[in-house]
A = this chain, B = another copy of it.
Amino acid sequence: MSRVKLTIEYDGTAYAGWQLQANGPSVQARIEEALLQLTGSAVRVHSASRTDAGVHARGMVIHFDVERSLPLSAYREGMNRYLPQDVAVCAAEYVAEDFHSRFCNSGKWYRYTLCQAPVRSPLFARTSWHVSRVLDLEVMRRAAACFEGCYDFSAFRSSRCSAKTTVKELTVVTVIDDTPLIYIDVEGSGFLQNMVRIMAGTLVEIGLHKRSPDSIAELLQNGRRADAGRTAPAHGLCLMRINYAPGYNRRGTVLYGGREKVNKNNKKA
């Protein structure tokens, strides 16, 4: 048995979310269908995160086990032939059998994209939230910096969120100007449901001078969801990268066995 780690990019527009859904197409279903076609057997995949309907990803990470080792190119070039145009495997590796995409990761980088323009933009419509009025980026940057550190993010989670602990550490919260696009980049070790989208919605209200930048410190203190801003729409959010500690893939014997087996069959390796 070998454990495979894949990095996946997708345009979430057409999907009801990452996870298998009873009533809508999911990215996970597309991946498992492609794996079935590639390997001839049903494979259940496990993901580092579960993005909501409409959210995009440039670096979703998943893992799964296979009985028979295939060359790594089969998981990348091979699967991309079976996947629809809005989903692709970017990278494939064999990992130790105790690697887990969700439990082993050390953090995530999310990007929330705004499009600041007087009218909606057809070319950026799928991947950004349109804000028609001018945003004060300086005041947004000042407010964004208040999120950096270890805080109770109760005010920044969906009422449906069932996480046991609401204390999370964010290492980077920054606002980048790439006119007409504006990126809110957030990196941290853990996230609550809708956390980045509520942060983005609150920062936009601050950028429009509807709310003081000091309100971030108050919200982190009082923890009241109702006092924070609206949840920014899903289609502006993108899961950029999932971090694993250096050397995460250099333990266990299965890995090396897997690699050696692969190297024999795979001229590209």
User: Do A122 and B89 touch (CB < 8 A)?
Assistant: no
Q: Give every chain B residue within 8 A of A80 (Cβ-Cβ).
A: 119-120
Out of B77, B86, B117, B121, which one reaches A122, CB within 8 Å? Answer: B86
Interface string of A90-114 (1 = CB under 8 A from B): 1100000000000000000000000
Q: Is the CB of B123 within 8 A of A56?
A: yes
Using a Cβ–Cβ cut-off of 8 Å, how many residues does chain A contribute to the interface with B?
25
Task: Determine if B9 and A85 form an interchain contact, defined as CB atoms under 8 angstroms apart.
Answer: no
Q: How far is the CA of A153 from the CA of B47 in the complex (A)?
A: 52
A247 in the interface, Cβ–Cβ < 8 Å?
no
Please report the C-alpha to C-alpha distance between residue A56 and residue B122 in the assembled complex, in whole angstroms: 10
Q: Does A87 touch B at the CB level, under 8 Å?
A: yes
Q: Is A18 an interface residue (CB 8 A)?
A: no
Q: Are the CB atoms of B119 and A85 closer together than 8 Å?
A: no
- Taking the nearest CB of chain B, how far is it from the CB of A134, in angstroms? 15
- Distance between Cα atoms of A123 and B58 in the complex (Å): 8
Contact A123 B90 (CB under 8 A): no
Query: A86 CA to B126 CA in the complex, in Å?
Result: 10
**Chain A, 1-44, contact with B by CB distance < 8 Å: what is the 0/1 string?**
00000000111000000000000000000000000000000000
> Are A9 and B90 in contact (CB-based, < 8 A)?
no
Partner of A90, one of B76, B91, B117: B117
Q: Are A119 and B76 in contact (CB under 8 A)?
A: yes
Residues in B whose Cβ lies below 8 Å from that of A56: 123
Residues of B within 8 A of A9 (CB): 121-123
> How far, in whole Å, are A202 and B119 apart by their CA atoms in the complex?
36
Q: Which residues of B have CB within 8 Å of A85?
A: 120, 122, 125
Residues from chain B with a CB closer than 8 A to the CB of A216 are: none
For the complex, give the distance between the alpha carbons of A8 and B118 in Å.
Answer: 13
Partner of A119, one of B90, B120, B121: B90
Closest residue of chain B to A86, judged by CB? Answer: B122
Give residues of chain A (63-98) contacting chain B, Cβ–Cβ below 8 Å.
76-77, 80, 85-91
User: Cα distance A88–B115 when bound, in Å?
Assistant: 14
A238 contact set on B, CB distance < 8 A: 123
Sample (7) of A-B pairs whose CB atoms are under 8 Å apart: A9-B123, A80-B119, A85-B122, A85-B125, A88-B120, A88-B122, A90-B119
